[in-house]
Amino acid sequence: MKTVGELGEDGLIARICAGLAKGGEVVVGPGDDCAVVGSGDVLTLLKTDAVVAGIHFLQNEDARRVGWKAVARVLSDFAAMGGKPGELMVTLALESTTPVRWVGELYEGMANCLKKHGGVIVGGETTSLPEGAPAMISVAGRGTVRASQVVTRSGGRPGDAIYVTGTLGGSIRGKHLDFTPRLKEANWLSQHFKIKAMMDLSDGLAKDLPRLARMSGCGFTIDRETLPLSKGVSVEEALGDGEDYELLFTSGDEMEGTWAATFPDLPLTKIGELTREKDDHLEGGWDHFKR
Amino acid sequence: MKTVGELGEDGLIARICAGLAKGGEVVVGPGDDCAVVGSGDVLTLLKTDAVVAGIHFLQNEDARRVGWKAVARVLSDFAAMGGKPGELMVTLALESTTPVRWVGELYEGMANCLKKHGGVIVGGETTSLPEGAPAMISVAGRGTVRASQVVTRSGGRPGDAIYVTGTLGGSIRGKHLDFTPRLKEANWLSQHFKIKAMMDLSDGLAKDLPRLARMSGCGFTIDRETLPLSKGVSVEEALGDGEDYELLFTSGDEMEGTWAATFPDLPLTKIGELTREKDDHLEGGWDHFKR
């Protein structure tokens, strides 16, 4: 009997999505950073995302940083669609032996992130876990996006330049907990330029760029020499470490000059181009089920 | 250091809610069956809910029944607010060794429930779990409710009659997996009568009725002799078993005759009254953290 580990994350998701019924006010369905639903000038973004002890954070990690990360991951997905955060719900699955103080600090971290970047917690759920099970924090909710500003993974076209914000790799040294969701930057980009396709880099460029290219029906070439490396990081690590939470996007517009004037502290790097050929791939990146 | 087990579920939630920032388009915030957000004639319901192996279902349970339950619990909460299901997202947290077939059957069960009761899956997330950790399925999303039909837990007043639909207790024999979310009934009630307060019975009447009364600033009396018992169930079990997923509501209107004509197969029972005194309590019911 085949396991999800043998099938891999992308295979599992493809299989799930193929079986889903259509309907509702769905503008963008499964497979993108968020679902987009509704109608009119302002659409609703829906997102759910979970962090698990032992996978996304260490059991003994500062709960404030865990809370920040749990919320910032969702905000990063709202950003990747060109949108803004709205109302969120938090599901806590905890052992009964969890200290109350830990929960308090977790919410402190979430509140800090929301205060800085927008969004509000309007509810959620608590559930107990069997003894020894790892804590899980799931954040779900809605954001908003102007219909004219929606950016998906699938709008890329051959000849588009491929860009990334910030630097890649080495997130395990701390950035995976303390990163800044690129809301300001993504909103600015989608307001001022024709951004064809966009996503946030959560599983590493080697995993995420092929996903974006595939959804856009394109291949890609990248110049490994141009990759913006985090300090002390190799090209392989920049490709494969994951959890960069930077924006990956494609566009036919020139924007480096205006970008540098607007966001002087955050690099923007052209790393390659979408192509007509579809057989490219990159080694590395994070698969949730294959190890 | 105090643990969440010592504090208990209601204490933990109260503590979390007290610390949350206000803001956004929030009509009903934390503490009800759903959050209500938005403005205008039709409002948005937001809900998230999780089921965990070993707590809400057995590891070796038919995955179709688990899928049905995971989705039906959320639909039951939309019902309790007087609303209807919209677009949902599913988070799967699984070990890598989970058979792909199990996931397929899980989605089959979810699809069956949505086909029958409305709603559509528009996305979600998969995450791996450390070896030995129990599977978790979290369902989050939005529903809709007419602004004129919103029912909360807090609208009850002294003198209101307290009603429950269906029968109580003994859900462990199967109903906790196969229950019918009372969408049709709740919509009919909130359209035709002045329903003051409503919730769905998930943790047992002994836990849930005091919650509703507390949110309404009331006490309550119930006539234990009138409780509609499931077959072969004692009054204590009807009070404490939990997972009935029936509607608990209060109203000053008489509705038994019309109800019986409209829903001949589902009992509606007046079990008591909201009172001015606030010191009532019931023994029993399910606390997620206290055992």
Full pLDDT tens readout for chain A, 291 residues: 799 999 998 889 888 888 887 776 899 998 899 999 999 999 999 999 999 999 899 989 999 999 999 999 999 999 999 999 999 999 999 999 999 999 999 999 999 999 999 999 999 988 888 888 899 999 999 999 999 999 999 999 999 999 999 999 999 999 999 999 999 999 999 999 999 999 999 999 999 999 999 999 999 999 999 999 999 999 999 999 999 999 999 999 999 999 999 999 999 999 999 999 876 667 666 666 654
Residue B281 binned pLDDT confidence (cut-offs 50, 70, 90): low
Task: Give pLDDT, residue A287.
Answer: 63
* Interface test mutation site (partner B, options A74, A75, A125, A137, max chain B beta carbons within 10 A): A125
Backbone CA torsion sign across B163, B168, B171, B175? negative
Task: Give pLDDT, residue B49.
Answer: 93
User: Please, what is the average pLDDT of chain B?
Assistant: 93
Residue B131 binned pLDDT confidence (cut-offs 50, 70, 90): confident
Q: Do B99 and A130 touch (CB under 8 A)?
A: no
How far B132 CA sits from the closest chain A CA (Å)?
A: 8
The 10s digit of each residue's pLDDT in B33-72 is 999 999 999 999 999 999 999 989 998 999 999 999 999 9
Task: Give pLDDT, residue B280.
Answer: 65
Q: How far is A278 from A213, CA to CA, in rounded Å?
A: 8
Contacts of A105 in chain B (CB under 8 A): none
Task: Give pLDDT, residue A286.
Answer: 65
Rama region for B217: left / alpha / beta (φ>0; ψ in -120 to 50; rest) = left
Q: Do A289 and B96 touch (CB under 8 A)?
A: yes
How far B50 CA sits from the closest chain A CA (Å)?
A: 8
Q: Do A35 and B89 touch (CB under 8 A)?
A: yes
Q: Do A289 and B12 touch (CB under 8 A)?
A: no
Contacts of B86 in chain A (CB under 8 A): 24-25, 37
Task: Give pLDDT, residue B63.
Answer: 97
Integer CA distances (angstroms), A109 to A106, A177, A289, in order = 5, 10, 28
Q: Do B46 and A122 touch (CB under 8 A)?
A: yes
Cβ-Cβ contacts under 8 Å between A and B: the total is: 271
Task: Give pLDDT, residue A19.
Answer: 82
Task: Give pLDDT, residue A291.
Answer: 44
Domains, in order of start, for chain B = 24-149 (3.30.1330.10), 161-275 (3.90.650.10)
Q: Could you give the 3-state DSSP secondary structure of residue A276?
A: coil
DSSP string of B227-290? --BPTT--HHHHHHS-----EEEEESS--HHHHHHH-TTS-EEEEEEEES------S----SS-
Task: Give pLDDT, residue A22.
Answer: 76
How many other β-carbons are positioned within 10 Å of the β-carbon of residue A260? 12
Q: Do A123 and B19 touch (CB under 8 A)?
A: no
